Structure 1
Amino acid sequence: FMKADMSELGEQLGQAYFWRAYAYYGLVRTWGPVPISPEEVISVDLKNNTDEIPCASVEELYNYIVKSLQAAEACNLPETYSSAPKHLGDANVYVSAQAVKSMLASVYMSMAGYPLKKSEYYALAADKAKEVVDAVKARNVQTLLPNWNSVYSYGNDNHNECILGIYYNANTGSWGWDDSQLTCCHVPGSLPWGGWGDFLAERYFWSKYPEGPRKDAVYAKTFLTGEGNNVDWWATMDGKPYYKVKGEDGKDKTNAVFSDYRPMFTGFSVNCDEKGSPLKIDFDCTKPLYAGMTLGKRHQLIRYAEVLCWFAESAARSGKYINEAKEALKQVRSRAYSDPAAVSAIDGMSNDQLAEAAYNEHRYEVAGNVLGMVTCREDEFRMERLQDVFNYRVGPQSDVLVPAGTVTHSQTAKGEPFEYTLKEDLVLPENMQVTGAWKGENSVYHIYPPTEVERNPNLKR
């Protein structure tokens, strides 16, 4: 501290308090009770490689997270930084006041839901989210991008809709530390994105996802095969209705182009030029994909669209700011939906309907962004709906049909419509099906990492 610029000391402390809270927020939602590392120096048994710190309860962890965020808030971080490296393009790189308030709103919502179920915290979440919304209005800054296709665009990487992000410097050329893309999600090949399944979406959520510019940006409308054809994920190789037969080896064979039978998210995908170099443009699934090992694309942890959803939901669940909450949800839907009736319908919603609509809207906004602070899984965790998700994903998902009837098949030479009649539903191969039984809390939380359990036997439930 003696060497620090005293004018920036509070700013640096604010960053530290925030990221400490962020780390524990991820830990408590993933594993439940975990140790809180003491702030003072402690004695560790290096000889036996143990660190027997007792686990804090979930409530203690949340109180510690709130305490850390309030400490960060007390550091009076700026709403906007003025120059690099704290600010790039239109976006803050360092943690801002809005990032702290946004995360506090999210944490309060988590405390209102499972497992603490302190519903009174929805009011606190609404208050804190409203501070962010009011600050944006006061600055009169365009904070939602006009086009959804630019949200995860490599060509518009530093936009101000992103309240909190992680920035990567690919100049070092190290894929292990400086590649923000995760190699599996941008390797092209004869199968969807090289056949990697990390970012393959399941069909049920896709089938329920509202049509519009957002769905067209979040999901790949077609896949580019190694032969240069753009095909639908349910496409067949001969243009005939899907069929499944037994091959000579006794295994199932189909005329499907892809064995996964699922759509795919595009939030981490980037196009390339004829030399394979990444292009800084809005992603286009019909064009070649970048397959390099390093890329400095930003991870978006919190976007303003999410805060609008949090505000609308927490306000509706607490009965506060209802008119303003409806306007917030309208902003999100106006950009995302093809049907304008989806926006006007918000006016007639009851509080319960508004809360549910905002809950779902957030899940649609973050779909495919598995590295965000609050994912679909975190929403379902808070609302005790993970078992519902598990139940509909057990087995082949045979209740989710691909589009039927007259469609334009992207593999035909001129895109002429043809009759697509499903003889048999696309059934996921057995090795891709979810199996097993729901195990209560053991299905909600991850198991503690075995290496950490060896070091600390207090890690048990």
Structure 2
Amino acid sequence: MKNIILSGCLMAASIFMFSSCSDFLTEDPKGKLTPDNFYSNQNEIDMAVNALYFKVQSYQCNSNPMILHCQGDDVTSTTGSNKAAYLSADAYETPTDTKGLEDGWRRMYQIILVANDIINNASKAGLSQENLNQAMGQAYYWRAYSYFTLVRLFGPLPMNLNNEPDNNATPLTSVENVYKQILDDLENAEKCNLPAKYDKSPQAINGQNLYVSQQAVKATLAAVYMSMAGYPLNKTEYYAEAAKKAKEVIDGVNNGTYNHGLLEKWEEVYSYGNNHHFETLLGIDYNTTTGGWSDFDSQFSSCHQLSGLKGWGDFIPERKFWLSYPDGPRKDAVFAKQLLTSQGVLVDWWATQDGEPYNGKNAVVSDYRPMFVAFTVNDGPAAAPYDYTKPFWGGMCINKRHQLIRYSEVLLWYAESAARANMDITEAKSALKQVRERAYADKSKVSEVDNMNAEQLAEAAYMEHGYEVGGYVLAMVTRRSDEFRMNRLKENYDYRSGSQSLVLVPKGTLTSSMDSQGKAFTYTLKEDLVLSENMPVTASWNNESSIYHNYPPKEVEKNPNLKR
């Protein structure tokens, strides 16, 4: 976020720094900038909004807060190393390493804290209505975003909208009432009439919005309504509201109000050479010029790379998800087609050193899994999509944009919601077909949508969204989020706790497509591949207690209300 991090950002951020939701509220403010002596002019409001975005950057600067999404059927993690927290989430068990819980909770509440101060104090600065609306809209949005993230991961939450000292005794707010607050905040953000397109720094870069826009608010409302229609509230009437909001975005794109659309080629979605593209409705930008390993840096460039290839192996594919993932340009862009060893040899991920069936020890690449490549860039100039035939860059920090909402998702949210709401599905089918047209080489996958009934369309759009965000734990609505809404997380538990001695890969050709040099590429296997996981799940399933993550132990120690 090079253009957002202005000189005043760090000073402004110092106003809001705290170690937990309550610690800040009991600090002695003498000698410090506080809301009582701040917020007096436009410059100070700008500093406060910069501080808000600094906290947004902090939320996703490294993988810890995203560990909680390993419950999804798309991702797992490498074994050993420092991956206990990832594997515990994957196994639906109480973690011994609680960094995912602690960071997933703390960083969201840090955003809430700064947003509260802006919401409660920005009106003191005597700004023009336009400038006040812009600041308030950012604050309302990110507070809603934070509570939306937390409520889907933890359930009932302690809510504090005024930064008043609470002595760590704030009671829990029910899931339904947390959603009411989320809707209130998003509706207030919508009333702020935020621009559809920002035209100057720090609100925009390379012609694309960095600040929250009106279409990002509408898209988020669609996602929130969908969430309320599913588990645990199951207020299915909200599917119609979700379809309405998603349609407003689609109509705005079609009439030119919103400068968004689908990129022509799926490989451009994650291309570092196209870092700021019009498919992204909402993203988080990073700036690696600060020296590395700071909250301004995205530390994800090695997270997807396999540990056997000197990556971190934080988020690597479930083999079953890879197998079931539909063939086509999207699959070729989401997964590495082959793996390049340190000896410069291209191998299939299932290759063994002796040519014998995999026995847990003879894999060429030790993780024995496919590899996601969303954050992988080639060594040297990275102006093009990742090329699996060339060495990848081994650095850790990169200023690659995190894509929280893409236009393809809005199309799919509309298709699914309209179908589940029993609305006219003619345009909903068109939305799904647009996404499939780019994702599949087999165009029968596009034409078959015409013959779907509402139930089939809803399920197809649901699955398609899972493919669009597969492995991308940074999305606002991850694969885990979808499965949570549909109350299907237990299916992941059942698979992972079963024998998993499934023959998942059949004989013969798996997929045939074009590689980065335009040559035919084919996945083939000489014999059946029997897969078994390294760490079978042994934890018992405890319904809601398994679906939701534990409250962070450090917070539980301070607030006795944090219990189920």
- The normalised TM-score by structure 2 is 0.73
Structure 1 segments unaligned to the other structure (5+ residues): 46-50, 245-251
Indicate yes or no: 2:155 matched with 1:32: yes
Q: Which amino acid aligns with 2:368?
A: Y
Alpha-carbon separation, structure 1, partners of 2:264 and 2:459: 25
Deviations 1:159-216 (A, max 9, x none): 0100000000111113132321436426687x24x25331210111111111000000
Q: Which amino acid aligns with 1:347?
A: D
Alpha-carbon separation, structure 2, partners of 1:29 and 1:234: 35
Question: Is 2:305–2:371's contact at 8 Å kept on the other side of the alignment?
Answer: no
Tell which deviates more after alignment, 202-211 or 106-115: 202-211
Distance 1:297 1:400, change over 3 A: farther
Question: Is 1:334–1:343's contact at 8 Å kept on the other side of the alignment?
Answer: yes
Alpha-carbon separation, structure 2, partners of 1:65 and 1:24: 7
Question: Is 2:301–2:376's contact at 8 Å kept on the other side of the alignment?
Answer: no
Indicate yes or no: 2:462 matched with 1:359: yes
Question: Alignment partner for residue 186 of structure 2, among 59, 63, 69?
Answer: 69
Q: Which amino acid aligns with 1:14?
A: G
Indicate yes or no: 2:448 matched with 1:345: yes
Alpha-carbon deviation of 1:241? 4.2
Distance 1:318 1:187, change over 3 A: closer
Question: Alignment partner for residue 268 of structure 2, among 150, 161, 169?
Answer: 150
Question: Is 1:179–1:293's contact at 8 Å kept on the other side of the alignment?
Answer: no
In structure 1, the residue corresponding to 2:303 is in which secondary structure? helix
Question: Alignment partner for residue 552 of structure 2, among 428, 449, 453?
Answer: 449
Alignment partner, residue 214 of structure 1: 330
Question: Is 1:133–1:308's contact at 8 Å kept on the other side of the alignment?
Answer: yes
Alpha-carbon deviation of 1:73? 0.1
Alpha-carbon separation, structure 2, partners of 1:25 and 1:98: 18
Q: Which amino acid aligns with 1:143?
A: G
Question: Is 2:272–2:384's contact at 8 Å kept on the other side of the alignment?
Answer: yes
Distance 1:22 1:372, change over 3 A: same
Alpha-carbon deviation of 1:348? 0.8
Indicate yes or no: 2:562 matched with 1:459: yes
Question: Alignment partner for residue 97 of structure 1, among 214, 221, 231?
Answer: 214
Deviations 1:56-86 (A, max 9, x none): 0000000000000000000000111112221
Deviations 1:107-164 (A, max 9, x none): 0000000000000000000111100000000108561000000101110000010000
Q: Which amino acid aligns with 1:262?
A: R
In structure 2, the residue corresponding to 1:26 is in which secondary structure? helix
Alignment partner, residue 111 of structure 1: 228
Question: Alignment partner for residue 19 of structure 1, among 126, 131, 142?
Answer: 142
Tell which deviates more after alignment, 344-353 or 397-406: 397-406
Alpha-carbon deviation of 1:396? 5.3
Q: Which amino acid aligns with 2:248?
A: E
Indicate yes or no: 2:413 matched with 1:310: yes
Alpha-carbon separation, structure 1, partners of 2:410 and 2:524: 43
Alpha-carbon separation, structure 2, partners of 1:62 and 1:223: 44
In structure 2, the residue corresponding to 1:177 is in which secondary structure? coil
Alpha-carbon separation, structure 1, partners of 2:510 and 2:304: 28
Alpha-carbon separation, structure 2, partners of 1:330 and 1:304: 14
Alignment partner, residue 248 of structure 1: none
Q: Which amino acid aligns with 1:437?
A: S
Question: Alignment partner for residue 374 of structure 2, among 264, 267, 273?
Answer: 267
Distance 1:229 1:131, change over 3 A: same
In structure 1, the residue corresponding to 2:282 is in which secondary structure? strand
Alignment partner, residue 185 of structure 1: 303
Aligned Cα RMSD in Å? Answer: 2.5
Alpha-carbon separation, structure 2, partners of 1:309 and 1:424: 34
Indicate yes or no: 2:496 matched with 1:401: no
Question: Alignment partner for residue 228 of structure 1, among 317, 333, 344?
Answer: 344
Tell which deviates more after alignment, 151-160 or 179-188: 179-188
Alpha-carbon deviation of 1:280? 2.8
Indicate yes or no: 2:530 matched with 1:425: yes
Tell which deviates more after alignment, 76-85 or 56-65: 76-85
Question: Alignment partner for residue 319 of structure 2, among 203, 206, 212?
Answer: 203
Question: Is 1:186–1:270's contact at 8 Å kept on the other side of the alignment?
Answer: no
Alpha-carbon separation, structure 1, partners of 2:383 and 2:424: 40
Question: Is 2:260–2:280's contact at 8 Å kept on the other side of the alignment?
Answer: no
Q: Which amino acid aligns with 2:540?
A: A
Alignment partner, residue 99 of structure 2: none
Alpha-carbon separation, structure 1, partners of 2:302 and 2:521: 34
Alpha-carbon deviation of 1:291? 1.8
Alignment of 1:103-182 (within 5 A): 103-139=220-256, 141=259, 143-182=261-300
Deviations 1:30-59 (A, max 9, x none): 0000111132x52344xxxxx111110000
Alpha-carbon separation, structure 2, partners of 1:293 and 1:243: 31
Alignment partner, residue 485 of structure 2: 382
Alpha-carbon separation, structure 1, partners of 2:273 and 2:551: 39
Question: Is 1:36–1:55's contact at 8 Å kept on the other side of the alignment?
Answer: yes
Aligned-residue sequence identity (percent) comes to: 54
Indicate yes or no: 2:440 matched with 1:440: no
Question: Is 1:267–1:369's contact at 8 Å kept on the other side of the alignment?
Answer: yes
Distance 1:265 1:182, change over 3 A: same
Alpha-carbon deviation of 1:418? 12
Alpha-carbon separation, structure 1, partners of 2:213 and 2:142: 12
Alpha-carbon separation, structure 1, partners of 2:523 and 2:146: 52
Alpha-carbon separation, structure 1, partners of 2:444 and 2:499: 34
Alpha-carbon separation, structure 2, partners of 1:400 and 1:65: 44
Alignment partner, residue 10 of structure 1: 133
In structure 1, the residue corresponding to 2:295 is in which secondary structure? helix
Question: Is 2:304–2:316's contact at 8 Å kept on the other side of the alignment?
Answer: no
Tell which deviates more after alignment, 18-27 or 389-398: 389-398
Alpha-carbon deviation of 1:295? 1.2
Question: Alignment partner for residue 257 of structure 1, among 348, 364, 367?
Answer: 364
Alignment partner, residue 174 of structure 2: 57
Alignment partner, residue 87 of structure 2: none
Deviations 1:236-270 (A, max 9, x none): 224x34253xxxxxxx643x212322212111111
Count of aligned positions: 435
Alpha-carbon separation, structure 1, partners of 2:150 and 2:251: 31
Distance 1:73 1:423, change over 3 A: closer
Deviations 1:332-380 (A, max 9, x none): 0000011101111111110000000000010000001101100000000
Alignment partner, residue 247 of structure 1: none
Alpha-carbon separation, structure 2, partners of 1:150 and 1:459: 44
